[in-house]
Structure 1
Amino acid sequence: MPERRVIVYGNAGSGKTTMARSLALPVLSLDHITWAASGVRLPMAESLAALEAFMSEHSEWVIEGCYGDLIEHAAKHGTELRFLNPGVETCIANARNRPWEPSYCESAEEQQRLLDPLIEFIRLYETRDDEYGLARHRAIFAVHNGPKREYTRQ
């Protein structure tokens, strides 16, 4: 059986983590290599080094996130690209219904406090012109030559 190296990406709340975990492979959430404890974005070189280290450690893997620059880099090494694009309202509903995730927030209260800013981030997906937006995600999908699929439903 050929090795699987899957990239799962899309808007916040699109189901990336759930899909990544369902694949029963080592998973790297790009959130964990992108942010310093203080909530400040790490230098790109540090994030890329951590990404490379993860890919080198595992012959098979899943990488999930919304960071266009890092997704683009990982896609060069992947065997499959999965673009989750179920629509902004679905992503908002998922964010509201998300159980507390200890790997992302220290407490359920902190996760609740961050919910409104997260929903605002999700709402801007279709109009953003940065690495987190639909235009960038669609461009990554368009140029990828390997196996790929866009998921518009959960």
Structure 2
Amino acid sequence: MPSQHILIFGNSGSGKSTLARALAASRGFAHLDLDTLAWLPSSPPQRAPLEAVDAELRDFVKDNTANNCGWVVEGCYTDLLELLSASADHIVFMDLPVEACIANAKVRPWEPHKYLTKAAQDANLEMLVAWIAQYSSREDEFSYAAHRGFYAGFHGRKTIFTENTDLESLEL
């Protein structure tokens, strides 16, 4: 039986959102991008309190388990992924080279749930590329080290992708 509760994580630009959208569409799963919960609507951006996000995540899991719906959650926030790990039956680590993530970020389509316009998104590209490049050297919940630790500690089904692949051929 295919996995019904999937967490997808990795660096920005690794293909998390693309894979999550494809799985949600092909399987009828609920899809949650953690970016929509992780930040307060403030300038400069501030992380939302962990307790508030935890409550929203529990509601998401409860709502989509009660109606027997599978779900896919994607993001780079190890602290939030850990809150969901007991409910997940499969994790997918998008472990692409930094250069591939940067190339993907440069051609990413407009993300209207994050930016008011494509121009606003493009204005942020230089900062995003610099942030992606720091993936291996950071020591936070968004880092390669945090993602590797999360992957190693998960006791369910696990998959690592080291390149973007044909989504039609995936059997997750």
TM-score interval (norm. to shorter): over 0.9
1:3 deviates by 6.2
The residue that corresponds to 2:145 in the other structure is 135
Q: Compute the displacement of 1:2 (Å).
A: 6.5
1:68 is matched with: 78
> Over residues 12-44 of structure 1, what are the superposed CA-to-partner deviations in whole Å (9 max), with x where a residue is unaligned?
000000000111211110000011111211111
Q: Percent identity?
A: 39
| 3-state SS, counterpart of residue 21 of structure 2 | helix
SS at match of 2:9: strand
Partner SS for 2:87? coil
Q: Which runs of 4+ in 1 moved over 3 A?
A: none
> Which residue matches 1:77?
87
Deviation at 1:120, TM superposition (A): 1.1
Q: Which moved more, 1:99-108 or 1:63-72?
A: 99-108
Give the match for residue 168 of structure 2: none
Is the 8 Å Cα contact of residues 3 and 90 (structure 2) preserved in structure 1?
Answer: no
Match of residue 93 from structure 1 = 103
CA offset at residue 76 of structure 1? 1.4
2:64 alignment partner, one of 58, 67, 70: 58
Partner residue of 2:53?
47
Instruction: Give me the whole-angstrom Cα distance separating, in 2, the residues matched to 1:82 and 1:33.
Output: 20
Q: Which amino acid aligns with 2:161?
A: Y
Counterpart of 2:37 in structure 1 is: 33
Q: TM-score, normalised on structure 2?
A: 0.86
SS in 2 for 1:7: strand
Q: 2:40 aligns to what SS in structure 1? A: coil
1:117 partnered with 2:106: no
Seen in structure 2, the aligned counterparts of structure 1 residues 88 and 42 have a Cα distance that, compared at 3 Å, is same
| Cα separation, 2, equivalents of 1:7 and 1:94 | 20
Q: How many residues align?
A: 154
2:109 maps to 1:103 = no
8 Å CA contact 2:135–2:142 kept in 1: the answer is yes
**1:51-96 residue CA offsets vs partner (Å, 9 max, x unmatched):** 1111111022001000010111212110100000111000000100
Instruction: Spell out, residue by residue over 1:89-138, the C-alpha distance to the aligned partner (whole angstroms, 9 max, x if none).
Output: 00000100001111111101110111111111101101111100000000
